[in-house]
Amino acid sequence: MTSPDPLILSLGPEFYDAVEPARFPACTPRFLNLRWAKRVSLDLSDGEWSAHFCRFEPLTRNLDERLALRYHGHQFRVYNPEIGDGRGFTFAQLRDDRGRLLDLGTKGSGQTPYSRHADGRLTLKGGVREVLATEMLEALGVNTSKSFALFETGEALERGDEPSPTRSSVLTRLSHGHIRIGTFQRLAFLGEVENINRLVRYCLRNLYGMDAAANDAENGLHLFDLAAAATARLAASYMAAGFVHGVLNSDNINITGESFDYGPWRFTPEWDLDFTAAYFDHYGLYAFGRQGEAIHWDLAQLAGCLSLVSEAPPLSDLLAGWSARFEQELVEAMLRRLGVAAETNDRELAAALIKALATRAQPIDRVFFDWRGGRDPGDGAYPSEEFRELARLLKGRERARSHPYWSDPEPCSMHIDEVEEIWSAIAKRDDWQPFEDKIAAIRRMGEAIEQDAPAA
């Protein structure tokens, strides 16, 4: 029993272009997200998975056409009006078991009007990396899109940044909306004020579950407040996860604050604020420690767009208050990953935890693993003053850990050498076992984190 709800059609044809998917010579399933298929009430046979998520035959009572969404955006702070869905489209919309409206969107499904001479394809390595990123982030509690299906498509692609020809794939992601800050930027660039209002109402009603008011200015301010809160939470969760997105351009920031579109991502092994993910990020614009600044800058672009429909002063006030929101969200995110309940001295505790991490005595994953539940491991591995202060502040806040994961010899991690080893097994021997084993290990870690989380 599916739960289709193709509400994006209510926006009208000014927001998208109907496109045709590429015809692939092969459809070999490499990853099928059965647990999320259940959550959106999709019960598919093997043949149906291929038909819908490699050949992109429409789902029943859903979108009849595949829609490449229109948007602009700042890319490394340079405005680009020539982008949009260049190798993907929105394929369907469904409700999950919480009633949320989710999009099934593609990556690598062929050329669109926004491909700009590119082939519209996705390398298999790129697809594998995105699956690994989304699985790890979901397990760590980051609000992320979900990799729904990955098919190898049998084409040989030429790429300048990896050995070519290389294998091809098509990915379908499940996302809480594909409306970006860049979607609003395009409408502001074109001066389409009524379409901005229409998009604001769509986001409030269908992505945030809020009733839109009759007053458009009030709606714009309300949506900005919600987006500010959501993006502050996102930026904080990246830090607690030790994650670097790599390309936090305004077209990569979802209006719901959900992380998506993973290219040159990495997890920093240590608490290194200067750690970057993208080899082309020469100035560290999107470094680990600057991600809050980057997302705040993107949010400022949204404020500029919404100033066409709402008063600027209250928008500016909300923007100015973002840093305080981010700081509070960071406190909460750090303590969630540590697995301790909230109390009055949380800011002091979070500050001590960050200072301890900054000593780089152990990798980030190891520290959170060893100290999970606020328990001092007491094995002499953390003798520094910073960790002794952390232990002092955690006194009396310790919680039991019941899942067997916490007794493993090593924590589950996702560093670049592990990713490359997984890909090497696929590229050299077509051995998918390390990939499948890593997915199982990540999900086991996620179960442990959820099982031993403090009560809200």
H helices of 339-415, in order, are 346-358, 364-370, 385-394
| C-beta of residue 173 within 8 angstroms of C-beta of residue 107 | yes
* Cβ-based neighbours of 311, under 8 Å, separated by 6 or more: 217, 221
d(CA 397, CA 345): 11
As given in the structure block, the two tokens for residue 103 are 């999009």
The radius of gyration of the chain from alpha carbons, rounded to an integer in Å, stands at 22
| C-beta of residue 108 within 8 angstroms of C-beta of residue 170 | yes
Q: Residue holding tokens 């030429």?
A: 158
As given in the structure block, the two tokens for residue 34 are 């059965």
Q: Report CA dihedral (249, 254, 259, 261) to the nearest 10 degrees.
A: -60
Handedness of CA 397, 403, 408, 412 (dihedral sign): negative
Residue among 285, 234, 251, 276 at smallest CA distance from 75: 251
d(CA 88, CA 325): 33
- Number of Cβ atoms within 10 Å of the Cβ of 159: 14
Give me the phi and psi of 243, to 5 degrees please: -105, 140
As given in the structure block, the two tokens for residue 65 are 């056409």
As given in the structure block, the two tokens for residue 11 are 């926006």
Helix (H, G, I), strand (E, B) or coil at 214: coil
DSSP 175-206: ES---BHHHHHHHHHTT-HHHHHHHHHHIIII
Q: Which residues are catalytic?
A: 251
